[in-house]
Chains A and B, each alone.
Chain A
């Protein structure tokens, strides 16, 4: 028997495997960064340069100059943050209600929640196209927010439901006996305890919305309304692809997610355990 404990100890082979995995992750990332720092000539050098000889931030600047990039970012921020905020509010209320109360239609609602996460996005894009068109909401923030809510609310509600189930009902009972009505119990006693779950839900909703491509592609038209993913995606359609600008734009679009994650990762991991395991 080896001297290291055979329970939970790290096998030497772990290290090369982990390093390999890290390499597979970092190489594309490094290449992305390297590309973004290249100027025109170095970009298309043959053979390709691993790292630019004269790195420049020109691409980062040109992204804002040559394209309505600021519009893209603003649109994404407005739409995604609004959808996240609204979804979070509604789903927290609903998650609490589902976990604590018995009412007619509860089972049906739960089933529908689960079901609605299975719809192919492409399935709802067609009716939404027509609906928004009729309502005059195509190519607008409000239109996109509405559609984003349609898919973030189901899974946010499901997540909050799972999270609330992990908060002992005895706290509600103690509060009831102490003299709290339902609203008071929710806001004063339970809600503060649900914050980690809410944070995780908000992060998932944000990431999903920020990521979203198909709906934005179809439901927006004018440059002033397009979101970041669409804006970036169409950079590739040009005749001559400015890869360095593309990579710079990509880096811009990844930064908010990184920041979000960096600050909130404690909550994410802990509520993954609470939500997922209890589910």
Chain B
């Protein structure tokens, strides 16, 4: 389309009139250099402290080794054996169930409490301050408190239950496969829900009030408003949170280890405990490394699948 252009103004004949096509201007190249400068310390650290040990870890998994003098190359033997080993598979199942239960607990408790805190309840700040507390306790402490609570003889749980007449003799909670599992799940939920609660609170507060008002006018009561306004608004944040949570609790070690050491009879033998024992009690480092690599793949695969199926944040 030939559009006429008003020709006016000063134009000096000494300038070049051609229109060269530029490949990469020095300004853009300079910007790239600057960007790399800012990023390089972190990149260096991550290459040295993350990528290198990761590679080394994978390397170790190909050897039958005690990390001292014995290094026998075995290739993928440990991978195959672990994947076929019922004990390892069992610990994977235990871990998945554990992680799913814990995350569900976090989301249920966290979102429910957040909804309540986001409304104009009285004593809001007091409630909030108290409900955040568990997050501030180191995992070690949480494990110990609950271990003490569940103690067969001196724990207050038994005491309270027998006072209420619900049990007649002392129950050794942590010695029973099922109750031990329940106990570690409970402790983990207790410890971890505040983070989900805080994130949900932030998310809820960023949903514009008028969406709720529009829903109310359309005839939605409290529950429907939650379903059609709150939940969709929370979806992006919860999405990210769930991924991080899953990975975090899948590789969890501390609380379970200090409460049950993986027992009784491997009832709570989450995969990190299994790997720990293989490496630092049986000194079978190669096998342990292989198990760890398998766990890595599972976490990454989960994240990829999750990211694909769950739609990304709103534009």
Residues of A within 8 A of B (CB): 6-11, 14-15, 17-18, 21-22, 24-26, 28-29, 31-32, 35, 43-44, 46-48, 50, 89-91, 93-94, 96-98, 100-104, 106, 109, 112-131, 133, 146-147, 149-150, 153-154, 157, 182, 186, 207, 210-211, 213-214, 218, 228-229, 232-233, 236, 243, 246-247, 250, 253-254, 257-258, 261, 268-269, 272-273, 276-277, 279
Contact = CB atoms under 8 A, between A and B. Distances in A.
Interface residues of B, number: 101
B45 A253 contact: no
Contact of B39 (A50, A94, A130): A94
A126 B291 CA distance: 11
A258 B136 contact: yes
Q: Is the interface of A mostly helix, strand, loop or mixed?
A: helix
Interface of B: 31-39, 41-43, 45-46, 49-51, 53-54, 56-57, 59-60, 67, 109, 112-113, 116-122, 127, 130-134, 136-141, 143-149, 153-156, 159, 190, 198-199, 201-203, 205-206, 209, 212-213, 216, 221-222, 225, 236-237, 240, 244, 247, 250-251, 253-254, 257-258, 271-272, 275-276, 279-280, 285, 288-289, 292-293, 295-296, 299-300, 303, 313
Given A150-B53, A236-B258, A97 B116 contact: no
B296 A150 contact: no
B62 to A, nearest CB: 13
A213 B140 contact: yes
11 contacts: A6-B225, A14-B119, A18-B127, A120-B299, A127-B289, A149-B49, A228-B140, A233-B140, A269-B201, A269-B202, A276-B237
A210 B138 contact: yes
B199 A272 contact: yes
A118 B31 CA distance: 31
Contacts of B50: 112, 116, 119, 124, 150, 153-154
Contact of B119 (A9, A21, A125): A9
Contact of A102 (B31, B41, B147): B31
